[in-house]
Amino acid sequence: MEQIVFIERDTFHAEFRRPGFDHEWIEYGETERGQIVERLRDATIAICNKLPLREPDLSLLPKLKLIAVAATGVDNIDLSYCQSHGIAVCNARNYARHSLPEHVLMLILALRRNLIAYTKDVRDGKWQTAKQFCLLNHPIHDLHGSRLGIIGYGSLGKAVAALCESIGMQVLVAERKHATPTRTERTEFSEVLRLSDVLTLHCPLTDETRNLIDKEELQIMKREAILINTARGGLVREEALVEALQAGIIGGAAFDVLSEEPPQHGNILLEQDLPNLIVTPHIAWSSREAMQTLADQVIDNIEAFIRGDQRNLINTIR
């Protein structure tokens, strides 16, 4: 009989049906790193979200056969150890194909139309004392006819592209940084930085993509361009971003992810009081509809694994 242990149940507002095979189901609302080994000691299948599962803990879990990640990103899993020790890893895919692009569009609109600055003006009484019927303290730009640069053209990047094209934006898909030659229907990386009015990130966090956007890249961007990151903290060097915003090197930024989550030790982006900086708490993926789709997919993945199917597996176990 399989023992399935869900170690981060409280990260979801969704119903998880029980798999259709003989099993014991154990769930914990939240789990501290020091509790991982104790709670997974007899588990054959672990369900996790963002909790790191690294070699020091995995080496003490000889019964573990499958890690079902209830997310797309698997940078919290020691994939090398899992591969060499016969632990399968699967993830969830495409569940946020509506939720995340809609969140991206919301952030783009808020920045391009200076929503934060204007709502603050109203709260501060500036409209109430204006000499005209409207208050025009901050520039407003249409999205129609502007350029959207996309870095990371998987399912989410493509969904963002489709949504933004539907309102008249021109989409540029970036080639990988430093890659040559540039593939058909892609645009060289630095050229996308130079041409885009809006730059949005949809790539995973790897050694190759860490600090993908740093001081040099921000200098290439248009002075009125905005940067959106709903992918992973760590793709952008946060200190360089703050300097760029303060110096007017770029027009604005909106982040749904930070380098440490939750930011228990503070974060430089949270210390700013800038109308052209928006930070949301990693919620772009989390519409109720998306969460239920994810929950159903996690169980589908587990059932497929037990049947011997290669469904959404990150590694191949022989």
Point out the residues that are catalytic. Answer: 232, 261, 282
Q: Alpha carbon of 95 to those of 172, 241, 242, 272: distances in Å? A: 24, 30, 32, 32
Give the strands of the sheet with 88-90, arranged side by side: 23-27, 2-6, 45-48, 66-69, 88-90
C-alpha closest to that of 118 among 110, 209, 105? 110
CB atoms within 10 A of CB 271: 8
Report the C-alpha gap between 123 and 121 in whole angstroms. Answer: 5
Contact (CB, 8 A) for 231 and 208: no
Whose CA is closest to 97, among 45, 144, 163? 163
Q: Which amino acid is at 151?
A: I
Is 295:15 a contact under the CB 8 Å cutoff?
yes
Q: Please, is 113 exposed, middle or buried when counting C-beta atoms within 10 Å of its C-beta (0-12, 13-18, 19+)?
A: middle
129: which 2 tokens? 């004392």
Is the CB of residue 291 less than 8 Å from the CB of residue 283?
no
